């Protein structure tokens, strides 16, 4: 298997954008692009790259804009989904591909859903993980205010530049340990009532984890100290302004996509039955059966939390390869 890590210069209205990526598998293989979420990087797909390449796929795995050692513009608007989608298309242009199957997790899934609406001719198929296709019913920040009011909600907290960066960058190792614990299957439980959440004033992203269940010391079984070390090194290099600024463009992304049709190409979904994003809201997963014209089905992985492909890699890889066959 041929695997290289390289940098790619993209054309961008913000200038000088370079994306670092992993390029693996046979050059003539069907192209698959893996799009990571927050707070992750290409390293979150470490268990998938070799199996995909061994199956004959060419796999492109970027550290997306703002992450690791890819470019991190200092303008919030640089992280709008149309610009992020342009970075993914630049990967296709670089290898001379007309289209690809895109696999997205978490924020990477949100981006792929938008990409499939912006540029349907470049997306042969979609396999998204953890975040189903769910059109916002209203402006996202207005929805947050209506749902959580004066209670803490992290996406609202992320809107202001400064507080999140200061908190998350103070001790990156602690940040990553708490976040990776906090959304894993080990922390699974009933969803909180918004009224039971702490007040927005005076509450931070990390302190909010302790309001539901005490985060254990050490690491979950699926995460080695060396894995944590990779993430720590990457976020110490990039900081959190870029990654958090993806959230600061939710309203702008909604304006850009609100009138676009739903993805029409073959789509499928993989989730974990202990993922708090979807475990208590199955109606969002089920709704794809009627929202998407060519929905090829859902695979739920038993015992997997939000970090689905990292927590249960063998089960995830089997589901991913089978879903690629269906597409």
SS percent in the chain: helix, strand, coil, step 5: 45, 15, 40
Q: Residues 186, 146: contact at Cβ < 8 Å?
A: no
> CA 212, 106, 316: angle at the middle one, nearest 5?
100
Query: At 91, which helix (H) or strand (E)?
Result: helix 81-94
Q: Residues 243, 38: contact at Cβ < 8 Å?
A: yes
The answer to whether residue 325 is catalytic is: no
Give whole-number Cα distances, 135 to 12, 139, 287, in Å.
Answer: 27, 10, 10
> CA 27, 33, 37: angle at the middle one, nearest 5?
150
Q: Which of 23, 63, 106, 253 is the catalytic position?
A: 106
The answer to whether residue 275 is catalytic is: no
For the chain, give the longest Cα–Cα distance. 54
Which residues are known catalytic residues?
Answer: 106, 306
């Amino acid at each position: 298997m041929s695997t290289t890590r390289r940098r790619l210069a993209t054309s961008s209205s913000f200038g000088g954008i370079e994306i670092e990526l992993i390029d693996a598998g046979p050059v003539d293989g069907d192209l698959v692009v893996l799009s990571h979420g927050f707070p992750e990087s290409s390293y979150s797909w470490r268990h998938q790259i070799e199996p995909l390449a061994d199956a004959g796929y060419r796999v492109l795995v970027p550290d997306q804009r703002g992450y690791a050692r890819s470019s991190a513009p200092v303008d919030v608007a640089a992280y709008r989904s149309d610009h992020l989608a342009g970075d993914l298309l630049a990967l296709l242009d670089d290898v001379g591909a007309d289209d690809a199957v895109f696999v997205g997790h978490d924020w990477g899934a949100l981006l792929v859903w938008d990409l499939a609406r912006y540029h349907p001719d470049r997306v042969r198929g979609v396999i998204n993980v953890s975040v189903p296709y769910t059109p916002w019913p209203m402006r996202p920040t207005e929805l947050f205010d209506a749902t959580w009011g004066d209670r803490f909600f992290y996406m609202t907290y992320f809107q202001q530049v400064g507080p999140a960066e200061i908190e998350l960058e103070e001790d990156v190792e602690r940040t990553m340990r708490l976040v990776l614990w906090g959304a894993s299957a080990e922390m699974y439980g009933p969803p909180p009532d918004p009224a039971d959440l702490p007040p927005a004033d005076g509450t931070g992203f990390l302190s909010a984890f302790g309001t539901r269940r005490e985060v254990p010391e050490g690491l979950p079984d699926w995460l080695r100290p060396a894995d944590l070390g990779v993430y720590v090194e990457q976020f110490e290099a990039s900081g959190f302004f870029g990654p958090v600024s993806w959230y600061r463009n939710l309203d702008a992304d909604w304006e850009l996509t609100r009138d676009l049709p739903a993805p029409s190409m073959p789509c499928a979904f993989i989730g974990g039955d202990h993922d708090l994003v979807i475990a208590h809201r199955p109606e969002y997963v089920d709704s794809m059966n009627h929202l998407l014209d060519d929905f090829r089905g859902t695979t739920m992985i038993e015992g997997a939390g939000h970090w689905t492909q990292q927590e249960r890699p063998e089960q995830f890889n089997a589901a991913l390869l089978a879903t690629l066959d269906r597409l």
